[in-house]
Chain A
Amino acid sequence: MKKAVKVEPEPRTAAPARRGRSFKPRYPAWLVMPSLVYIIIFFLGAMAILVAFSLATQVGFGQISFGVSFANYREVLDPLYLSIFARTMVMAFLGAALTCAVGYPVAYWMARYLTTYKMLALLLIMVPFWTSFLIRTYALKIILDPGGYLATYAGIDIMYTKYAVGVGLVYNYLPLFILPVFATLERMDWTLVEAANDLGAPPLRAFRQITLPLTLPGVVTGALLVLIPMTGEYIIPNILGGGKFEFVGNLIGDQFNAAQNQPFGSALAISLMVVLSALVAIYIIFAGKEERFGA
C-alpha cells in the first residue's frame, strides 16, 4: 500500500546545455567602475581597517599602535566572552526557529488561500518594516510594559526578561522571513499537491513530502536572513531586556565606546563575522549537496 502512495518527483526536463557567450556585451565593462570603487572604499576599506585595528594594540585612550598582535583574539577566548558568544548564538537560533514557526503558516496562508487580497496582505506585512526599527521596539515596550495591556488584561508580564527579548527578535525580523518563503510558496506548482491527494496522500503527508521539501530553500534563506542580523542585535536586548542581557553586539559597543578599546572591539567583531561565515559556509555546502543528489 505504502508504495502506491509514494509520490515520485516530476522528472526534470533536461537543462539546456550551458552555452558559451554567444554575443558581445553591449556596454563597456568600465561602466561598473563607480560601483566597484564604492564597494572597495566603503566595504572592503572598512573591513581592512577593522582587521588592521584588531591586530593592533591599545596604547592609550583612543590611541593605537599598529602591528600584528593576536593578543586581542586570545582575549576573545576568555570564558566570559565565549559564554556571551554562546548566549547570543542560542538566542539567535531560538529567535530564528520561532520566526519560522510564526512566519511559515502566515506565508502559507497568504500564498494558498488569498487571491484578491494577496498583495494587500503582503503590503500589510511589509508596512511596519518601513517604520524605524527603534520606534517599533519602543512600541513593543508599551505593549509589554508591566502596566501595559498584556500584563493588565492577560496577566503576561515578561518585560525585562529573555522572553521579551525573544518576542522583540521575532517581531522585528518577521517580514524578512515571510518574504522569501512567500516567494517560494508562490512559485510552487500546487498541482503536485493535488496529484498527491488524488493518489491518496493525506494532507499532512502531502505537505511533508511535497510542499516542505520544495519550499525548504526559501525557508533556509529566510532563516539565515533573520539569524544573521539577530546575532548582531544591540537595541532589542538593551530596550526589552532592560540592559542586562549581553549580546555580542552590546559587548562590542561597550568596548568601542566605554572602554575605548577599538582593537579588542574589532577583534570581537571579526570573530563574530568568522562564526557567521562558517555557518553560511556550512549552509552552502549542505545546499550544494542537495542539488547534486537532486532533491
Chain B
Amino acid sequence: MTDPRDDELNILLPIEAKPRLDHLHRKVEAAAGMRLSRREALGLGGMALLGLSLAAAGCGTSTTGGDAAAAASPAATSTLAGQPMESKLQIYNWVEYDPKSVYTGFMNLPDPKAADLKISETYFSSNDEMLAKLHAGATGYDIIVPSQNAVAQLIFEKMLMALDMALLPNLKNLQPSFRKTNYDPTGQYSVVKAYGITGFFYDTTIITEQPKTLMDFYQLLNKYVSKGRTNLMDGPEEVPVLALLALGINQNTTDPADYAKARELLMSVRKGVTTIDSSSSTTDGIAGKIMLGQGWNGDMRRIVEAQPDITAVIPEGLSEIWADNWCIPADAPHPVAAHAWINYMLEPEVAYDEMMYHQYPEPNTPALAKLPAEMRDDPLFNVPPAATEKWDYTLNVSPAVVQMRTKVFTEFKAAGG
C-alpha cells in the first residue's frame, strides 16, 4: 500500500470537523472521478471544485460523472412499465428541430392528456454547448438530443438512462441498421432521430470538372478560389475529420501520423479556402454566395433547390455519416413521459411530419414509404444505404484524439494571412 501518512491530514481544526472533511474528501473524489489521497483531495483545488459543484447543485449530488453511476444502473427488467405518467416533460433540443404539431399531438395523447402534461423546451446550438451545460451540473432534463459523438461520451460518463424497451414498442418501425451503432453498440441508450451525411456542392457554370470524391473537392479549392467563395465546414470535428476521410483514413484514427497527413493536405489547400463556417453557410449557399463548399445533405438539398446551377455530390469513397438521437439523462425527473415521447416520435405519422418539417431523413421504414416520390427517390434525402456502407460516425474517441484534431484545426486557421 501507499505511505499511510499520505492519507493523514494535519490541519489545525477541532476533531469534530473530521467527519465533515471525510465527506469533503469523498465528494472531491467522486467529482474528480478517481481516487485521491486526502491531501490531494482537500488541497486548494479540491476546495475550489467543491465550492463550484456545491453552488451548482445546490449542495446536492456532484455532477461530474461519478455519482451518476448509481442512478444509471441499467434496468434489466422493466421498472417503469405501469408507472403513472408525470405531468411535465423538459426537453433540451436543437432549435427548430420539431414541428409544433408533434408537441400538441403528444399532449393530446390519452395518457399525457389525463396527466395534464406540460412540455417545456430549451435549446442548444452545438453538442459542445450541451455537453458543457450538462457537465457544469445542469439537471432537470427529460429528453436531450445529442449527436453520435456526444452519445458515446455520455454513455461512457454514465450520464444516460438505459432505455426501458417495454415502453418503446414502436422501435419496430426503425430500420434495423440504425438499431445498433458504433457509438451505442447495445442500442440501449439512444434512438436515432434523424441522420445525415456530409458531402459537397459546386457551381457547374464555373467548375467544369466533375468532382466525385472528397479528395477531388480539396484539389479544386486552390484552382477556383479566385472565382468565388469556397467554404469548409467549421470545427475540429469537421475540418481535420473530412481531410482524413479524403485521404481514405478512418476519421476515428488514434495514430498521430494520420493527423500529420491530414495537416499536410489541409495546409496545401489553405490558400484556396475563403471561409470556414457552418452556421451561416446554408443561408449563404441558398443566396448563391458559395461556389464550392462542403455541406450536410439536407442543407445541400435546399441550396440545390434555390440555385439551379449548383450540383450537390454524395462523395464516392469515404465521407462521414452522423445521427442525432433521442436520449434520456440518467437523472431525468420524468422518465415515463420521456419514454412516451420517444415512442410517439417513432409513430410513422409523426416521423413523416418531422421529415416534412426538418427535411432530414429519419430511419423509420413505414414513414419513409409514405413520403412523396420526389423525397423518397432523392438520394440527397433518402441517402442510398449502399453509398454509406463503409462510412463511419465521427466519435470523440479520447481526449488525446480530440486534442490532435483541435490542434490541426488551430494550425490550419492560424496559417491564414
Q: Which residues of A contact B (CB under 8 A)?
A: 45, 48-49, 52, 55-56, 58-68, 80-81, 83-84, 87, 145-147, 160-162, 241-246, 250-251, 254-261
Contacts and interface: CB of A to CB of B under 8 A. Distances in A.
Contact of B64 (A55, A63, A255): A63
Contact of A60 (B43, B48, B51, B399): B399
B64 A62 contact: yes
Given A60-B399, A243-B276, A52 B416 contact: no
A243 B34 contact: no
6 contacts: A59-B32, A61-B396, A66-B43, A66-B49, A84-B410, A259-B236
Given A61-B153, A84-B414, A243-B234, A49 B48 contact: yes
B414 A80 contact: yes
Contacts of B244: none
**Chain B binding site: helix, strand, loop or mixed by DSSP?**
helix
A171 to B, nearest CB: 19
B417 interface: yes
A257 B126 contact: yes
B32 A160 contact: no
B45 interface: yes
Contacts of B65: 60, 62-63
Contact of B417 (A61, A62, A63, A162): A162
B48 A243 contact: no
Interface in B240-283: 273-277
A258 B411 contact: no
B135 A62 contact: yes
Contacts of B28: 66
Given A66-B32, A246-B414, A258 B274 contact: no
B289 interface: yes
B131 A259 contact: no
Interface of B: 28, 32-34, 36, 40, 43-46, 48-49, 51-52, 64-65, 126, 128-129, 131-132, 135, 153, 156-157, 229, 234-237, 273-277, 289, 396, 399, 402-403, 405-407, 409-411, 413-414, 416-417
A259 B402 contact: yes
Nearest to B406: A259
Contacts of B407: 80
A58 B399 contact: yes
Contacts of A81: 410
B399 A243 contact: no
Contacts of A67: 40, 43, 45
Nearest to B413: A246
Contact of B45 (A68, A145, A255, A261): A68
A63 B51 CA distance: 16
Given A61-B402, A258-B235, 6 more contacts: A61-B153, A62-B135, A64-B49, A160-B275, A243-B275, A257-B129
B45 A56 contact: yes
Contacts of B409: 254, 258
Contacts of B417: 161-162
Contact of B413 (A60, A63, A244): A244
A76 to B, nearest CB: 13
Given A52-B49, A146-B229, A160-B229, A244 B32 contact: no
Contact of A64 (B32, B157, B237, B403): B32
A18 to B, nearest CB: 41
B123 to A, nearest CB: 16
B320 to A, nearest CB: 16
A63 B234 CA distance: 25
Contacts of B234: 243
B237 A258 contact: yes
Contacts of B416: 241, 244-246
B235 to A, nearest CB: 6
A65 B35 CA distance: 10
A241 B132 CA distance: 26
Given A84-B414, A244-B416, A250-B413, A60 B33 contact: yes
Contacts of A241: 416
B36, B273, B399, B402, most chain A CB atoms within 10 A:
B399
Contacts of A59: 32-34
A63 B236 contact: no
A61 B43 contact: no
Contact of B33 (A63, A83, A257, A258): A63
A242 B45 contact: no
Contact of A66 (B45, B128, B411): B45
A260 B397 CA distance: 13
B52 A261 contact: no
A146 B288 CA distance: 12
B195 to A, nearest CB: 22
B45 A52 contact: yes
A260 B132 CA distance: 8
Nearest to B228: A146
A258 B131 CA distance: 10
A87 B52 contact: no
A58 B32 CA distance: 10
B99 to A, nearest CB: 28
A146 B413 CA distance: 22
B45 A61 contact: no
Contacts of A83: 414
Contact of B128 (A63, A87, A147, A257): A257
Nearest to A58: B399
B410 A251 contact: yes
B144 to A, nearest CB: 15
Nearest to B277: A243
Nearest to A52: B48
B124 to A, nearest CB: 11
B399 A261 contact: yes
